[in-house]
Amino acid sequence: MDNATFTTPDLTTFCRLGDLGLVVTGQHLTDERAVLACRPVEPDDWCHHCGCHGQPRDSVVRELAHVPFGWRPTTLQVRLRRYQCTGCGRIWRQDLTCAANPRSCLSNGALRWALEALVVSHLPVSRIAAALGVAWNTANDAVLAEGQRLLIDQPGRLTGVTVIGVDEHVWRHTRRGDKYVTVVIDLTPVSTGTGPSRLLAMVEGRSKDAFKTWLSQQPEAWRDQVRIVAMDGFTGFKTAATEELPTATTVMDPFHVIRLAGDALDVCRRRVQVELHGSRGRKHHPLYQARRTLHTGADLLTDKQQRRLGELFADDRHVEVEATWGVYQRMISAYRTRSRQEGKKVMTSLIDAIGTAVPSSLVEVAKLGRTLTKRRDDVLAFFDHHGSSNGPTEAINGRLEHLRGTALGFHNLTHYIARSLLEAGGFRPDLHPRL
């Protein structure tokens, strides 16, 4: 800053009103807000209808909310001249499209600031509205419309997508209406190591038809370039991807595969618990005490946890839980191997082992084996395709949960979809290239 060149203070330059075609003519400051009197730089005194010169008739004042300075609302009072054509008699007023959209009470600078506050700084709409000094509905409608126009509807937003993830998401927890939506995530940057995942689309409903309809609406060239679809165990997503993306490989995410085994372990533990004690569990029951330890990887167990499991499995009445726990641990070890090929061999042998000839007493293991046998190709495809995990999809689901909490819930699904896309659509570099 020692070599900086200083110029005469200029309020027009400081407030960046020159970019809007305005010049400041006066100011009025209060504790609540700052009001700047402005006028357009260009006179605009020629008739746009017949081309004749116009005579000044009177003037009107249009108020615009502008970028807040020091978190104090700033209002622009723009005085516009009205002219009357000397030829056709038409009356018009000075053009203000470079400063604000027609019928808008926010300047273009305020719109840009609000959009950056929403997308980059993750501020709630209530905070943005308070900073601009406008109503919540005014700020929300203006920012979402600008975000839709500038970011969401930009051409080529879906270009270069080769790996996608699909999952369900609960957008509301009330009983009224459908509470599920289907989210589609771009996993291409994760698979190539070029950046984080981003939200591509959010479709109302959780079904095969919801996902299939969205895929069918995409250009054929885009569908042809998708080579991997990562998903959970829901067969509806599998069927939709197979029908609309016949050349793509469907991959069942490791998180959901492990979850299937974990659910089988929980069901088995509760079943044995009820058979032995007649209840789902009390704090002094060994099976209930070990419910969390059973879900810990064998290589992460502490000495205390190992002793607890040793005492648990020493009881012959818990042999079914021990067998199911062994299947769960083998599945974890398959995904934790250093080599993907080695992990594939472990998983293949596990599916073959529990897919047939399972004792009738191991009801949960038999059911798990049937599921894994049915989705065998999808489970094993993970080991052949790097970056096909659906983990980033779950991460974006977490960001959307945080968004809903920040906004204290949503009532309008259209607004929620727009806010979700702006929140997790990867638009921050578009507004700030250095991010």
Over residues 279-327, the pLDDT tens digits come to: 877 888 889 999 999 999 999 999 999 999 999 999 999 999 999 999 9
The confidence band for 2, taking pLDDT boundaries of 50, 70 and 90, is: low
Q: Under a CB-based contact definition with an 8 Å cutoff, are residues 388 and 251 in contact?
A: yes
Which residues are 93's β-sheet partners?
Answer: 82
Q: Is the predicted pLDDT of residue 1 greater than 60, yes or no?
A: no
Segment holding 200, helix H or strand E = strand 198-204
- In angstroms, the Cα distances linking 323 to 279, 344, 358, 366 are 22, 21, 11, 12
Q: Is the predicted pLDDT of residue 181 greater than 70, yes or no?
A: yes
What six digits make up the tokens of 229?
Answer: 């679809």
Q: Under a CB-based contact definition with an 8 Å cutoff, are residues 184 and 217 in contact?
A: no
pLDDT at 224: 93
In angstroms, rounded to a whole number, what is the distance separating the alpha carbons of residues 338 and 258?
18
Beta strands of 70-118 (E only): which ranges?
Answer: 72-85, 91-93
pLDDT at 341: 93
Q: Is the predicted pLDDT of residue 264 greater than 70, yes or no?
A: yes
Other C-beta atoms lying within 10 Å of the C-beta of residue 369:
22
In angstroms, rounded to a whole number, what is the distance separating the alpha carbons of residues 350 and 355?
8
pTM of the predicted structure, to 2 decimals: 0.85
Q: Under a CB-based contact definition with an 8 Å cutoff, are residues 392 and 185 in contact?
A: yes
Mean pLDDT of 26-38: 92
What DSSP assignment string belongs to 153-183? Answer: T-TTTTTT--EEEEEEEE---SSSS--EEEE
In angstroms, rounded to a whole number, what is the distance separating the alpha carbons of residues 322 and 342?
25
pLDDT at 320: 95
Q: Is the predicted pLDDT of residue 152 greater than 80, yes or no?
A: yes
Burial 165-178 (b: 16+ CB within 10 A, else e): bbbbbebbeeeeee
Other C-beta atoms lying within 10 Å of the C-beta of residue 118:
25
Query: CATH 3.30.420: does it fit domain 163-253+388-431?
Result: yes
In angstroms, rounded to a whole number, what is the distance separating the alpha carbons of residues 296 and 291?
10
Over residues 48-102, the pLDDT tens digits come to: 888 898 888 999 999 999 999 888 999 999 999 999 998 888 998 888 989 999 8
Q: Would you give the DSSP letter of residue 279?
A: S
Share of the chain above pLDDT 70, in %: 99
- In angstroms, the Cα distances linking 2 to 5, 6, 163, 258 are 9, 10, 51, 60
